[in-house]
Amino acid sequence: MNGSAQLSPYPGIKCVILRSHAVSSGRVRLSSGDPDSPPVIECRLLESAEDVATLVRGIEAVRAIVNTDPIAKLIEVEVTPGAVEGGASLDVAEFVRSHTEPSCHPIGTCRMGVDEDAVVDPELRVRGTENLWIADASIMPDAISANLNAPCMMIGAKLGRQLVAKGRWRTA
């Protein structure tokens, strides 16, 4: 992708298949002791065969829906993943592996919890520091099947109320 988009010269529909609760798990780690060095981000998408199988079933479900009337009457051809000659399906699992990208809602890089491995405690304080809190999706220990805007606003409001109650933050 080069940042530009063009409309197709024909009418079409697009369905996006999303694995909301993936088994595969990535990580973010330091690349060096230099704080200006970018972190190493390892998405590790599709590390689990279960994630690939779920996405394949998603494509099969969409195909079943669009091959049912009345929508089937409106569709002339499946462009992607597409079909090969004779109507045989392409290797959908291979298509999934070569076309899957991370979604735009990463969570959990600074997981909140009560155990030693949690970066943030239930009061949103970063363990081992003073006067440092995190209030965004990175503290979420588990993914949700929705947009993150509302939960992030709730997390921010929780921290704001805590800080106001403790006299650490004043409202205008």
Residue-by-residue DSSP string for 59-89: HHHHHHHHTSTTGGGG----TTTTB-GGGPB
- Cα dihedral across residues 51, 54, 60, 64: positive or negative: negative
Residues labelled as active-site residues? 105
- Of the two residues 84 and 70, the one the predictor is more confident about is 70
Alpha helical stretches, state H, the chain: 49-66, 92-99, 149-165
Mean pLDDT of 27-52: 92
Q: Are strands 27-29 and 40-42 parallel, antiparallel or unpaired?
A: antiparallel
Residue 84: the pLDDT is 56
Residue 90 carries which DSSP code?
A: P
Mean pLDDT of 10-19: 87
Specify the range with the lowest mean pLDDT, choosing from 67-71, 75-79, 148-152, 156-160. 75-79
Query: Hey, what are 6's tokens?
Result: 């063009």
Q: Check pLDDT > 80 for residue 105.
A: no
Backbone dihedral angles phi then psi of residue 125, each to the nearest 5 degrees: -85, 140
Task: Give dist(CA 156, CA 72) in Å, integer.
Answer: 46
pTM over 0.85: no
